[in-house]
């Protein structure tokens, strides 16, 4: 039986993390169908059809799917999913919100947040905020799985030419509706997809000081993140939080500035290839995992970095 992968998108663009989810599907093995569920999202289906290694794209479009409301999308995915051995999605907030609903409708256990595929029924996932790594075997007839993007290298976004098949069934549970969204607009790269991430912590002192971090990030073409302490203190918005309960990142370079290195922050970034820590407290736990540590006052180091990069 084939694998159904649910695409992440905003009705305009296919999210890069879908390519990581597809890599997990490929590791499981078998025919892969990619579902694009949304509204007025032909352009997403178009991009999806170009992705390497997909047999077909399923396109479901109607107003009830516009905002990815879990009540509606889960009914569609569960209906389609009955024909598949595996249903995969990413760990985006949309997918994490929707997939357990699919699993419950299909009456199967879900495996969350896998970082490795051992074989078609055995998966590796972090537990206890990444302080332990569990290998889990599933005997469920349909395996409902969410995939942590950083565990899998993305498949190629082009080179394919899959046909697009239209799904006509319409599901509207009619119990929830979208009111509004306040989405951060940024010209910087997406935090979870960036090659370089520069993050600030409580040491930044206030929100205005993050401007220094933005200037360094722009020199590097980097995304900007933050620790939970900085978000809780109101310096920056929640969507910048890196950590166990925020975003999980694994860029080529992660620069932690004024971040002490609480376990829950480390859980979100310790798989980065190279970690730099800048902190004036030489006892900060972040130095225990940093490849390059600079003991310095960030208010001196950041302007110097900006001028010398």
Partner 1 sequence: MKILVAVKRVIDYNVKVRVKPDHSDVDLTNVKMAINPFCEIAVEEAVRLKEKGIANEIVAVTIGAEACQEQLRTALALGADRGVLVQTDEPPGSLAVAKLLKAIVDEEKPDLILLGKQAIDSDNGQTGQMLAALTGFPQGTYASEVTVSDGKVNVTREVDGGLQTLSLDLPAVVTTDLRLNEPRYAALPNIMKAKRKPIVMKTPADLSIIVSSTLTTLKVEPPTQRQAGIKVTSVDELIDKLRHEAKVI
> Are 112 and 138 within 8 A, CB to CB?
no
Q: Does an H or E element contain 17, and which?
A: helix 17-28
Distance of closest approach, residue 93 Cβ to partner 1, in angstroms: 4
Segment interacting with partner 1, rule: CB under 8 A, options 58-66, 155-163, 174-182, 207-215: 174-182
Site size toward partner 1 (CB under 8 A) is 86
134 contacts partner 1 (rule: CB under 8 A): yes
Contact (CB, 8 A) for 186 and 214: no
- Confirm or reject binding of residue 180 to partner 1 (CB under 8 A): yes
Please answer whether residues 182 and 148 qualify as being in contact, where contact means their C-beta atoms are separated by less than 8 angstroms.
Answer: no
Taking CB under 8 A as the criterion, the residue among 153, 163, 168, 183 binding partner 1 is: 183
Taken as a whole, the chain contains a residue count of 309
What is the pattern of x (binds partner 1, CB under 8 A) and - over residues 204-223?
----------------x---
Instruction: Fill in the per-residue mask, 71 to 90: x = in contact with partner 1 (CB under 8 A), - = not in contact.
Output: x--x----------------
Residue 51 neighbours by CB distance under 10 Å: 25
**270 touches partner 1 by CB under 8 A:** yes
Number of Cβ within 10 Å of residue 120's Cβ equals 15
Residues 73, 304: Cα–Cα separation, whole Å: 49
42 binds partner 1 (CB under 8 A): no
Stretch in the footprint of partner 1 (CB under 8 A) among 33-41, 52-60, 197-205, 285-293: 285-293
Q: Which neighbouring-strand residues pair with 170?
A: none
Q: Quick one: which of 270, 262, 263 has its CA closest to 290?
A: 270
Whole-number minimum distance, CB 98 to partner 1, in Å? 8
Query: If binding is defined by CB under 8 A, does position 16 make contact with partner 1?
Result: no
> Which residue's CB is nearer to partner 1, number 54 or number 278?
278
Instruction: Choose one: 24-32, 49-57, 162-170, 301-309; the region binding partner 1 (CB under 8 A).
Output: 301-309
**Is 101 one of the binding residues for partner 1 (CB under 8 A)?**
yes
In the complex, the smallest distance separating the C-beta of residue 112 from partner 1, rounded to whole angstroms, is 5
Query: Per-residue DSSP letters for 223-275?
Result: EEEE-HHHHHTTSS-GGGBBSTTSB----SEEEEES----HHHHTTTTT-SEE
232 touches 210 (CB < 8 A): no
The token pair at 288 is 């225990």
Return the range that interacts with partner 1 (CB under 8 A); candidates 54-62, 80-88, 158-166, 281-289: 281-289
Q: Of these, 38, 130, 151, 203, which contacts partner 1 (CB under 8 A)? A: 130
């Amino acid at each position: 039986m084939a694998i159904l992968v649910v695409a992440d998108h905003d009705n305009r663009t296919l999210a890069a993390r879908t390519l990581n989810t597809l890599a997990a599907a490929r590791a499981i093995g078998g025919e892969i169908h990619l579902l694009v569920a949304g509204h007025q999202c032909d352009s997403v289906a178009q991009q999806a059809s170009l992705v390497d290694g997909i047999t077909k794209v399923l396109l479901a479009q109607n107003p009830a799917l516009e905002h990815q409301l879990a009540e509606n999308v889960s009914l569609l995915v569960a209906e389609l999913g009955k024909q598949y051995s595996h249903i995969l999605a990413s760990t985006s907030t949309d997918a994490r919100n929707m997939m357990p609903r699919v699993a419950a409708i299909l009456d199967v256990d879900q495996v969350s947040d896998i970082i490795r595929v051992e074989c078609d029924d055995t998966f590796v996932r972090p537990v206890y905020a990444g302080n332990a790594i569990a290998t889990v075997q599933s005997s469920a007839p349909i395996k409902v799985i969410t995939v942590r993007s950083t565990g899998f290298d993305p498949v190629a976004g082009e080179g394919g030419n899959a046909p697009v098949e239209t799904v006509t069934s319409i599901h509207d549970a009619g119990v929830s509706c979208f009111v509004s969204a306040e989405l951060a607009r940024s010209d910087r790269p997406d935090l979870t997809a960036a090659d370089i991430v520069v993050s600030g912590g409580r040491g930044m002192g206030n929100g205005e000081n993050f401007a220094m971090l933005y200037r360094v990030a722009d020199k590097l073409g980097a995304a900007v993140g933050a620790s939970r302490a900085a978000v809780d203190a109101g310096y920056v918005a929640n969507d910048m939080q890196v950590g166990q309960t925020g975003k999980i990142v694994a860029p080529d370079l992660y620069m932690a500035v004024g971040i002490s290195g609480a376990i829950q922050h480390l859980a979100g970034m310790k798989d980065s290839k190279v970690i730099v820590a800048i902190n004036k407290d030489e006892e900060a736990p972040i130095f225990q995992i940093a490849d390059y540590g600079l003991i310095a006052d960030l208010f001196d180091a950041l302007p110097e970095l900006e001028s010398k990069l």
